[in-house]
Amino acid sequence: MKKTFFAIFLLLILIFPILSAIEFEINSEFKQGETILAKVSGNFQEAILPVNILFYRGHVKVPFDFDVTQINEEFYIYALTTDKTPANYTISIEEVEYRKATQIIDDKIQKNFTILSDVADFSIDPGFALAKENFSIIVQNLQDSKISINVNNEKTETIKSGDIKQLNFETKAFSEESSLNFLELSTDNQNYQIPIYVLAEESVYEKQRYRFSPPELNISLITNENKQALFHIKNYGEPDIANITLSMSRELKPYMNFSVTEINDLESNKSAKILINLFSDKEITVEGYIKAKTSVNLKYLPVTINFLDDYEPLPGQDYIPVTQNTCENDLAGKFCTADEYCENQELIDAFDGKDCCLSECKSLENNDDNEESSTGKIIGWSIVILIIIFLAWFFLKKYKSAKGEINLLDIAKGKNK
């Protein structure tokens, strides 16, 4: 009996750690530019956040552009290897509590991987999606010739060398219910299995609705001159949105920088204006994207910039106007009525008319500037009236004075007679 009990005890000890162990699925090798996709599962006591994920080359921390999300009980991580030197790396999950056997610990969870010198066919961004109706994946051809990407074995997307393309999808093509699905993008040499979580019911992700305005930037400007362009991020959902982080793809970084890189709070039905500074000392066409990221959402703004030696901008432009976009739908603005004025005078030209107000339209009755202007007009007209009265008095007095002198002469002549 004792032997049987002891055998069962040993069996439980051996099996329990296996059931409680952390599973970290990641390839051991990646080509240059290939997007890293990884999955972590286990009995975690808390969520894995971006702050908990670090990358090392040897013992030195190295920056990666990455993100993590939780789908059901598993965590999905993707990371971009763009511009990373071929070498051995380590991905490390730190300061996260999880259960191991009968203990709760926060030991580092690490996996080693190698970035090879060979170049991948294409990269993807993001490496997962949570969506209710539609979503998009940005792909870039990393080869020196065009490639054909097979999409779920249903259609083919052809992309020229170096080009970036946004692939748009609807979730109804995957499932009508909340469920985890996988989108396959592949070439003959490469395959991505991208986790797509379909949200059948409204969630934080769906309540958080924001978009870029305009939906695409296509800018032409002259070389060797600092210029600015303008875009907006509009919150058209119900809740306020906190901590929107802005970043850009590596192709744009030598030629562009933001006026701000983070929007701390964007109120419902409000928009934030973002200026980007542009410069190049050579003729070049640059394609990339701007990414807006919250804790549960990602949005992309495709960007094309044409730097030209002989480009002639319109006179007096301090920034590049986006005249191909409508005021309300694309620029998140409005046209003020005759009884209103634009607060802060944020007026630009739009495709459907001039004087598109990018701030709030205010009533003229409450316009302090208008009141000051009315007061100024009253003072001005009062001065004019006083001047007219003075001139009338002056000429009238002069006329009477002149008439009095003639009478005196007549009197004098009469006396001489």
Both 242 and 341 in a single domain?
A: yes
- DSSP class of residue 394? H
Cα-based angle 161, 165, 170 (whole degrees, multiple of 5): 150
Shared domain for 144 and 263, answered yes or no, is no
Give which of 180, 91, 87, 193 is closest to 137, Cα–Cα: 193
Reading the block at residue 254, the tokens are: 């030598």
Report the pLDDT value the prediction gives residue 126, as an integer from 0 to 100: 92
Structural domain count of the chain? 3
- Residue 289 pLDDT grade (very low, low, confident, very high; cuts 50, 70, 90): confident
- Both structure tokens of 299: 């949005």
Q: Residue 24's Cα: distance from chain center in Å?
A: 32
Q: What is the pLDDT of residue 334?
A: 84
Strand order in the sheet with 134-141: 122-125, 134-141, 164-170
Q: Do 278 and 325 belong to one domain?
A: yes
Q: What is the pLDDT of residue 112?
A: 96
pLDDT at 411 (0 to 100): 45
Identify the pLDDT of residue 9: 47
User: How long is the chain?
Assistant: 417
Q: Which domain-ending residue is among 120, 137, 168?
A: 120
Pairwise CA distance, residues 277 & 94, whole Å: 37
Q: Tell me the pLDDT tens digit for each residue of 57-68.
A: 999 999 999 999
| Whole-angstrom distance, CA of residue 153 vs CA of residue 151 | 5
Residue 370 covered by a domain: no
Domain of 37: which CATH number? Answer: 2.60.40.1930
Instruction: Choose between 348 and 309: higher pLDDT.
Output: 309
Q: Which of 120, 147, 178 is the last residue of a domain?
A: 120
Residues 125 and 262 in one domain: no
Q: Cα-flanking dihedrals φ and ψ of residue 121, to 5°? A: -65, -45
| Together in a domain, 219 and 310 | yes
| DSSP secondary structure, 330-345, as one string | TTS-B---TTEEEGGG
Q: Is the pTM above the cut of 0.85? A: no
DSSP 183-196: EEEE-SS-EEEEEE
For the ranges 101-115, 157-171, 386-400, the lowest mean pLDDT is seen at 386-400
The rounded distance, in Å, linking the Cα atoms of 366 and 368 is 6
Q: In the chain, what percentage of residues exceed pLDDT 90?
A: 32
**130 & 116 share domain:** no
Domain that holds residue 330: 211-365
Mean pLDDT over each residue of the chain, to the nearest integer? 80
- Specify whether 71 is located in the same domain as 129: no
Which tens digits make up the pLDDT trace of 334-380?
888 878 888 777 677 665 666 788 888 888 776 544 445 555 566 76
405 domain residue, yes or no? no
pLDDT at res. 153: 86
Instruction: Kindly state whether residue 383 falls inside one of the protein's structural domains.
Output: no
Has residue 248 been placed in a domain?
A: yes
222 lies in the same domain as 286: yes
25 and 165 together in one domain? no
Kindly state the average pLDDT of the residues 184-195: 94
- Identify whether residues 191 and 288 lie together within a single domain: no
- 73 contacts: CB under 8 Å, gap ≥ 6: 41
Question: Residue 394: is its pLDDT beyond 90?
Answer: no
